[in-house]
Amino acid sequence: MTTEDPDDRALWSQAAGGGAHAFGVLFDRHAKAVYNHCFRLTASWAEAEDHLQATFLLAWRKRADVRLERESALPWLLTVATNVVRNEQRSLTRRLKNLKRATHDHTVPDHADLVAERLDDQKRMRDLLAAVRKLPRNEREAFALCVWSEVSYADAAAVFGITEGSVRARVSKAKAKLQQHHRELVPAGEDR
C-alpha cells in the first residue's frame, strides 16, 4: 500500500456506500491471504477457491452492516472465511449422513479422494489439519489466524473480543500440543 492508497477502513466505507471499485481493491489486497487460509482449513485448493468466493460474497452483502474495528479488514475476513468453511463442513457432514441413509449399504466412491492424491501438499496439509481439528476450538482458531495467516496477536484479540495475552496463551497451547506429535509440520518460529 502506497501513501496514495486508501486504508481498509476508507475502502470499506466507500464499499458500504455502494463503491464496487473500493470493494474490488479490498478483494485484490486480501484475496490471496483468505485463499491460503481456506486451503489451510480444508487441505483442498478447489474448496479453498469456493470458500474464497463465498467469503467475499458474504462480505459484500454485509458491507453496510459491518464497521471495521482495526485498520485492516483481513482479520475480519479471515474470521468470516473460518465460519464459511465450518458451515460448509457441517453441511457436507449432514449431506453424507443423508446419502448414507438413502443408499443403505451401497458405497459411493469419493471422487475428492482421487483428486487430492495428485498434490503432495494436500496430503501434508490433511495430516496437519487432522491434528489441528483435535485442538479445542478457541486454540484452533487462534492458531489458524496467528500462525497460519500471520495475523498479529493484537488484531486477533480484537476479532475474538479477548485480551492479547489470552490469544498468546491459546496459540502457545496449540503449538505445544501440535509439536508433541507433529514437529516437522508446525513452524516453531518467534512470536509476534
pLDDT at res. 82: 93
Residue ranges for the chain with pLDDT beneath 70:
1-3, 102-121, 181-192
Domain spans of the chain, in order of start: 9-181
The pLDDT of residue 112: 55
Cα distance between residue 62 and residue 71, in whole Å: 18
Arch. (CATH architecture) of 9-181: Orthogonal Bundle (1.10)
* Stated pTM of the model: 0.64
Round to whole Å and give the CA distance between 86 and 8.
Answer: 26
Residue 97, all three cell numbers: 449422513
